[in-house]
Amino acid sequence: MERLLKKALLIGMGAAALTKEKMETLLNDLTTSVDKIEEEDFLSQIIKKGEETREELEENIEKKLRKLIERANLASKDDILRLEKKIDQLIESISKQK
């Protein structure tokens, strides 16, 4: 479990570094064309790129966490619900036999 938490932390740190790199690239690209773009368009592009980057990061983090959980053989919410239902059925079956 400790190993899983370490990996999750490393994923978060990697995502932060990735975000920084993407923002630096974005700012460098936009800086060269700032003179040609009106202020409102410039801000819209920054906001749009920021949202795109955030969505990409969220998707990547979610995929990585799912893989980590899968490798750790942890029970999913569906697995637990299925087991709870089976236990309830067994309890009911035993109660009827008494």
Give tens-digit pLDDT for 8-27.
Answer: 556 666 666 656 676 677 66
Give tens-digit pLDDT for 41-64.
Answer: 777 888 888 888 888 888 888 888
* Residue 8 near residue 65, CB atoms below 8 Å: yes
Tokens standing for residue 82? 């299925």
* pLDDT over 90 percentage in the chain: 15
Tell whether the torsion through CA atoms of 48, 49, 52 and 57 is positive or negative.
Answer: negative
Asked if residue 81 has pLDDT above 70, the reply is: yes
All structural domains of the chain with their residue ranges: 2-97
